Amino acid sequence: MTDDRKPMIECRGVHKHYGDYHALRGIDLTIRAGEFFSLLGPSGCGKTTLLRTIAGFEDISDGAILIDEKRMDEVPANKRPTNMVFQSYAIFPHLTVAQNVAFGLRRDPRGKAEKAALVEEALAMVGLRGYGNRAAHALSGGQRQRVALARALILKPKVLLLDEPLSALDRKMREQMQVELIKLQRQVGITFVLVTHDQEEALVMSDRIAVMFEGEIAQLDGPEALYARPATRRVADFIGVMNFLPARILGEQAGTATVEVPGLGVVDLPERQISRANPDDEGPTIGFRPETMTLVGPTQTHSQPRETNATIDEVVYYGDMTYYDLRLDGAAAMDGKARPVRISMRNVFGRDVQEVGTRTRLAWSPGSLVLFR
Amino acid sequence: MAKGLDAQAKQGYALIAPPFLYALVILAAPLLTILTYSFLTDGYLEVVRDFTVSNYVQVWTDPIVRTVMLRSLMVSALVTLVTVLLAFPVAYYVSFLVRPERKSLWLFLITIPFWTSYLIRVFLWKVILGYNGVINSSLTGLGIIDEPLTFILYNVNSIVITLAHAYAPFAILPIFVALEKIDRALLEAGRDLGESRAMTFWRVTLPLAMPGVLAAVLIVFIPTIGDYVTPELIGGGKIPMIANLIQVQMLALDNRPLGSALAVTAMAIVALVSVVFLLINRRFLKVRS
Amino acid sequence: MKGQGRGLQAYALLYLLFLYAPIILLPLFAFNSGTIIAFPLQGFTTNWFAQMWANATLRTALTNSLTIAVSASILATCLGVFAARASTRFEFPGKGGMMGFILLPMVLPEIIVAMSLLVVLLGAGVQLSILTVILGHVLICMPYAIAILSTAFSSLDKSLEEAAYDLGETKWSAFRLVTLPLVMPGIVSSLLISFTISLDEFIIAFFLAGNQPTLPTYIFSQLRFPKQIPMIMALGTVLVALSILLLALGEYFRRRGNARMGGNPTGGFL
């Protein structure tokens, strides 16, 4: 898929040092106009620093940042075409909701009535119609966030920056706001850049995601590609759950590889299933997601090309799902260590939860495997 | 390199410069002058620029100076002990037994007297404790005593009572803050693990409140050792403390080098006591973390 | 539990009585017609207040004290704003040491501050006046101002100022529109507390005022004359009433500030 939308944010070799600490190590990144883009990573990976350099709150030590094709080196935060939704929302507690939303319009030459109409429109957009006269400090977390959104969007910025905007909300509220943010972004068409440490949130909301570790971008991809074909073991481990098994490479030609995996046998993998960026240096490893394999009963039939016998070691019941930890037959063949494998099964009507110790069959397809080498 | 840090540091220095320079000129320069004077020789109406340690020799050997020094230390220690002991139960009461919404009222009531004229408060203690004072006249009036009590006036006891009154909030507040910080679940845990209420207090509450108690000790001890007014008014000038001695040497006798040596010695003693208590406090804080 | 609580409560009330004993006596003697400060009380009079009102020296002392207290509290609060902002918002090498030094007067015996300053001023040939008292008072008020202002500044979310900046304000207008209104209650309390400390300060005023009277030095000089004591009691009554009024105002502003920030009104002055 090619994207011909014009670049909105470009980072070229961006470095950031704090004394001896190297927070950003050469970030190269292009975010396109109208994209919902996420910076995802564990705390301390530099994602918030990157967001704050785009906003202009932090100087960069080296490299360049361009917004809408203009270099931002000498442009301070208050002159950049970006606005921010802060993690704490930063709602001014001494002002009303309407005064908060109108804050950025102070230098706007338009008349009072016109501004009031804009405020009302912005409040309506985030579902807070009629809240204008409320005191800001009396709002709930979700309402604060809506005010923060309205306050930033009323200025019609080219880019909206969101710093972990959902982390302070409870689970239900968070899921609701995720959907609302997606709708809002489609409605206004502004480029959104979201910082989050929650992989699920990034997968749900983003067009593209940059996964960051230690000040570097480890992978930049769409959600499906990121989930199905993680570039490194570390990315795979950070996003969702992935099983890892050691593998032995039997032969390689023209990008494809033939590998032997204890417990799974010999498989041929096409190029798209091979990740060559494996800095973890643990030797060739096969990875697969828990939901890509299926437990089948002794008399059940299935349409998968391969099956493996296994014993159930542990059962974890989640209501809608059940997780099974399995010991594959022959799993210890390579180095004497039998690594457990986690499989998830949806608890559909008519399917019983299996018990610990049960012998079972595992049906799978080589298409669900990823080789890290 | 480190552009962000430098910019931040520069702004920080620019902001702190005015108050810091003010303290440098109005506090550090005078203190250094005193320190210098203390090593110079006293001439008639002037300070002679001859280096000497004789001022310190005199401070440490003169029996009058020694008496006054020891008295100051003893009075301060006594005041500190009395003030902190009297204050602890009050802090405990406010922290543990007063309802949360009433706590700030109690703290307000405790701090108000502190903000009213110090001189008048000190003088009124003289009125209360005096020969024909409130206590004596009431007691004689009620026929409980025939002769006015004299052990409460113009002596160390009256100085201690007056100072204990003056520095009460200084003792209560740090202890209160330390008690407030104690997680109430710890006390329940102590009880749950089979300790009696008294033993829980002894083994859990008191050790955790210790940083506050030590802070209170320091915060009462330091100003009382330098108190000038109370010995002057209550003691009737007959039982001088170190501050009075410094004033006499500096102004009345115009012996600035000796006065400076006294001041430096007093500061050194205060600093020494503070360091000792801060070290003890560090031990308690270590236990805590 | 109940018994322990009762005992402690009785003790706490007795302790309050001990704290308030002098203050309770003050108005009693101020309105007592007897010229000797002793029980039993004689009769009711407001003469002492009239005498106080007519006293010219006292008026000079009051004017001096007010001049000193107003100047010192404004200067100490201004310097305090700088220090509090530096210490709560910025990291730089040597910060702890510099802040500790600025706060030093809080733990230094006042006699030493007064004496060392006096020696330097006399050595430099500076004429002692209320100006020199202001210099000293700013020094001792500053730590209290900083303590109050630091609390106000540190309870402020750093993002608030950034948000204002992000929304197009300059650094200075962000400070003026957001930070200043939010720390204003702290500034008012700092002014009130500094004013109260300066108004009541004796030692520095005693040594640095030259021959200018201030309220405390005037009171001190009059305490030697039994004849003047009833008038001093009247003066004390007025001062105590004034202090309580100022403190109540300070507390009111502090709480209003807290309520505005959505916090809960607990804590005290120190």
Domain ranges of chain B: 64-288
Could you report the per-residue pLDDT of A97-109, keeping only the tens digit for each?
A: 999 999 999 888 8
* Chain C closest-CA separation from residue B239 CA (Å): 17
Domain residue limits, chain C: 61-157+192-241
Could you report the per-residue pLDDT of C174-213, keeping only the tens digit for each?
A: 999 999 998 888 898 889 889 988 988 999 999 998 889 9
Q: Which residues of A touch B7 (CB under 8 A)?
A: 59
For chain B, what percent of residues have pLDDT higher than 70?
A: 90
Q: Is residue A152 within 8 angstroms of chain C, CB to CB? A: yes
| Mean local confidence (pLDDT), B145-171 | 78
Contact C163 A92 (CB under 8 A): yes
DSSP secondary structure letter of residue C37? S
Residues 6+ apart with CB under 8 A from C16: B109, B110
> Amino acid letter at C197?
I
Residue whose token pair is 């405790």: B110
Q: Tell me the pLDDT band of C258, cut-offs 50, 70 and 90.
A: low
State the pLDDT at residue C259.
64
State the pLDDT at residue B158.
81
Q: Tell me the pLDDT band of C261, cut-offs 50, 70 and 90.
A: low
Bridge partners of A328, per DSSP, are A310
Contact A84 C166 (CB under 8 A): yes
Contact B1 A61 (CB under 8 A): yes
Enclosing H/E stretch for C86: helix C56-89
Cis status, amide bond into C265, omega within 30 of 0: no
Q: Tally A–C CB contacts below 8 A.
A: 62
| Mean local confidence (pLDDT), B138-142 | 74
Contact A18 B4 (CB under 8 A): yes
The Cα angle at residue B229 between residues B227 and B232, in degrees rounded to 5: 115
* Chain B closest-CA separation from residue C265 CA (Å): 8
Q: Tell me the pLDDT band of C1, cut-offs 50, 70 and 90.
A: very low
Q: Which residues of A touch C182 (CB under 8 A)?
A: 93-94
Contact B118 C15 (CB under 8 A): no
Could you report the per-residue pLDDT of C72-109, keeping only the tens digit for each?
A: 999 999 999 999 999 988 888 888 999 999 998 888 88
- Assign C32 to helix, strand or coil: strand
The order of strands in the sheet holding A62-67 is A21-32, A7-18, A62-67, A70-71
Can you say how many angstroms the Cα of residue C215 is from the centroid of all Cα atoms in its chain? 14
> Of A125-139, A305-319, B152-166, C18-32, where does mean pLDDT reach its minimum?
B152-166
Kindly report the number of other CB atoms within 10 A of residue A184's CB atom: 19
d(CA B8, CA B4) in angstroms, rounded, equals: 6
Q: Is residue C175 within 8 angstroms of chain B, CB to CB? A: no
State the pLDDT at residue B285.
65
Q: Which residue of B has its CA nearest to A17?
A: B2
State the pLDDT at residue A168.
84
- Joined together, the tokens standing for residue B152 give 């409460």
Handedness of CA B225, C196, C85, A48 (dihedral sign): positive
Domain residue limits, chain A: 7-228, 233-287, 289-365
Length reported for chain C? 270
Residues 6+ apart with CB under 8 A from A317: A353
- Joined together, the tokens standing for residue C158 give 């750093």
Q: Tell me the pLDDT band of A3, cut-offs 50, 70 and 90.
A: low
State the pLDDT at residue C42.
76
Could you report the per-residue pLDDT of C126-159, keeping only the tens digit for each?
A: 888 999 999 999 999 999 999 989 988 888 888 9
| Mean local confidence (pLDDT), B189-218 | 81
State the pLDDT at residue C67.
95
Give the CA distances from residue B289 to residues A82, B82, B282, B283, B284, in Å, rounded to whole numbers and listed in that order.
Answer: 43, 30, 11, 10, 9
Contact B243 C109 (CB under 8 A): yes
Per CATH, the number for A289-365 is: 2.40.50.140
Contact A83 C261 (CB under 8 A): no
Per CATH, the number for C61-157+192-241 is: 1.10.3720.10
Give the CA distances from residue C136 to residues B210, C133, C142, in Å, rounded to whole numbers and listed in that order.
Answer: 34, 5, 10
- Joined together, the tokens standing for residue B231 give 């010995």
Q: Is residue C124 within 8 angstroms of chain B, CB to CB? A: no
- Assign B239 to helix, strand or coil: coil
Residues 6+ apart with CB under 8 A from B153: B126, B129, B130, B131, B133
Contact A155 C167 (CB under 8 A): yes
Residue C267 has pLDDT above 60, yes or no: no
Q: Residue A216 — φ and ψ, nearest 5°?
A: -130, 155
d(CA C178, CA A301) in angstroms, rounded, equals: 68
Q: Which residues of B touch C80 (CB under 8 A)?
A: 19
Fold of A7-228: Rossmann fold (3.40.50)
Q: Which residues of B touch C101 (CB under 8 A)?
A: 20, 23-24, 27-28
Residue whose token pair is 């940083």: B211
Q: Which residue of A has its CA nearest to B2?
A: A19
pTM for this model (two decimals): 0.81
Chain B residues 246-265 within an 8 A CB cutoff of chain A: none
* Chain B closest-CA separation from residue C38 CA (Å): 6
Q: Shortest CB distance from C165 goes to which of A77, A92, A94?
A: A77
Contact C260 A92 (CB under 8 A): no
DSSP secondary structure letter of residue C179? I
Contact A137 C261 (CB under 8 A): yes
State the pLDDT at residue C174.
92
Q: Tell me the pLDDT band of A292, cut-offs 50, 70 and 90.
A: very high
| Mean local confidence (pLDDT), C99-123 | 88
| Average pLDDT score, chain A | 90
Give the CA distances from residue A160 to residues A156, A163, C46, in Å, rounded to whole numbers and listed in that order.
Answer: 9, 10, 71
| Mean local confidence (pLDDT), A301-326 | 90
Residue B1 has pLDDT above 50, yes or no: no
Residue B151 burial (10 A CB sphere; 0-12, 13-18, 19+): exposed
- Joined together, the tokens standing for residue B145 give 């005593």
State the pLDDT at residue A279.
58
Residue C268 has pLDDT above 50, yes or no: no
Q: Which residues of C touch B128 (CB under 8 A)?
A: 21-22, 25
State the pLDDT at residue A278.
61
d(CA A203, CA A239) in angstroms, rounded, equals: 9
Q: Tell me the pLDDT band of C266, cut-offs 50, 70 and 90.
A: very low
Q: Is residue C58 within 8 angstroms of chain B, CB to CB? A: no
The Cα angle at residue A143 between residues A139 and A148, in degrees rounded to 5: 105
Q: Which chains have 3+ CB pairs within 8 A of C?
A: A, B
Higher pLDDT, B69 or B192: B69
Q: Which chains have 3+ CB pairs within 8 A of B?
A: A, C
| Mean local confidence (pLDDT), B27-42 | 88
State the pLDDT at residue B187.
76
State the pLDDT at residue A315.
92
Q: Which residue of B has its CA nearest to A19?
A: B2
> Amino acid letter at B56?
Y
State the pLDDT at residue A267.
92
> Amino acid letter at A342?
R
Q: Is residue C238 within 8 angstroms of chain B, CB to CB? A: no
Q: Tell me the pLDDT band of C230, cut-offs 50, 70 and 90.
A: confident
> Amino acid letter at B178?
A
d(CA C239, CA C22) in angstroms, rounded, equals: 13
Give the CA distances from residue C80 to residues C109, C140, C182, C257, in Å, rounded to whole numbers and listed in that order.
Answer: 21, 11, 16, 18
Residue C160's nearest CA partner among A89, A99, B11 is A89
State the pLDDT at residue B2.
40
Residues 6+ apart with CB under 8 A from A264: A245, A286, A306, A308, A328, A364, A369
Residue A182's nearest CA partner among A162, A197, A199 is A162
Q: Is residue A87 within 8 angstroms of chain C, CB to CB? A: yes
Q: Which residues of B touch A16 (CB under 8 A)?
A: 4
Q: Tell me the pLDDT band of A351, cut-offs 50, 70 and 90.
A: confident
- Joined together, the tokens standing for residue C69 give 């207290």
Q: Residue A211 — φ and ψ, nearest 5°?
A: -90, 125
Give the CA distances from residue B30 to residues B24, B54, C120, in Å, rounded to whole numbers and listed in that order.
Answer: 9, 21, 6
Q: Is residue C244 within 8 angstroms of chain B, CB to CB? A: yes
Burial of C245-259, coded b for 16+ CB within 10 Å and e otherwise, reads ebbeebbebbbebbe
Residue C239's nearest CA partner among C195, C206, C204 is C195
Could you report the per-residue pLDDT of A108-148, keeping only the tens digit for each?
A: 889 899 999 999 999 999 999 989 999 888 888 889 999 99
* Three-state helix/strand/coil letters over chain A: CCCCCCEEEEEEEEEEEECCEEEEEEEEEEEECCCEEEEECCCCCCHHHHHHHHHCCCCCCEEEEEECCEECCCCCHHHCCEEEECCCCCCCCCCEHHHHHCHHHCCCCCCHHHHHHHHHHHHHHCCCCCCCCCEHHHCCHHHHHHHHHHHHHCCCCCEEEEECCCCCCCHHHHHHHHHHHHHHHHHHCCEEEEEECCHHHHHHHCCEEEEEECCEEEEEECHHHHHHCCCCHHHHHHCCCCEEEECEEEEEECCEEEEEECCCEEEEECHHHEECCCCCCCCCEEEECHHHCEEECCCCCCCCCEEEEEEEEEEEECCCEEEEEEEECCHHHCCCCCCCEEEEEECCCCCCCCCCCCEEEEEECHHHCEEEC
State the pLDDT at residue C72.
97
DSSP secondary structure letter of residue B196? -
> Amino acid letter at C34?
G
Contact B116 C240 (CB under 8 A): yes
* Chain A closest-CA separation from residue C72 CA (Å): 29
Residue A136 burial (10 A CB sphere; 0-12, 13-18, 19+): buried
Could you report the per-residue pLDDT of A146-192, keeping only the tens digit for each?
A: 999 999 999 999 999 999 999 888 888 899 999 999 999 999 999 99
| Mean local confidence (pLDDT), C45-73 | 91
Residue A85 has pLDDT above 80, yes or no: yes
Q: Where are the alpha helices (DSSP H) in C155-228?
A: 158-166, 171-174, 180-200, 203-208, 215-222
Probe site for chain B from C11, C18, C19 (most B CB atoms < 10 A): C19
State the pLDDT at residue C71.
97
Per CATH, the number for B64-288 is: 1.10.3720.10
Residue whose token pair is 């001695």: B245
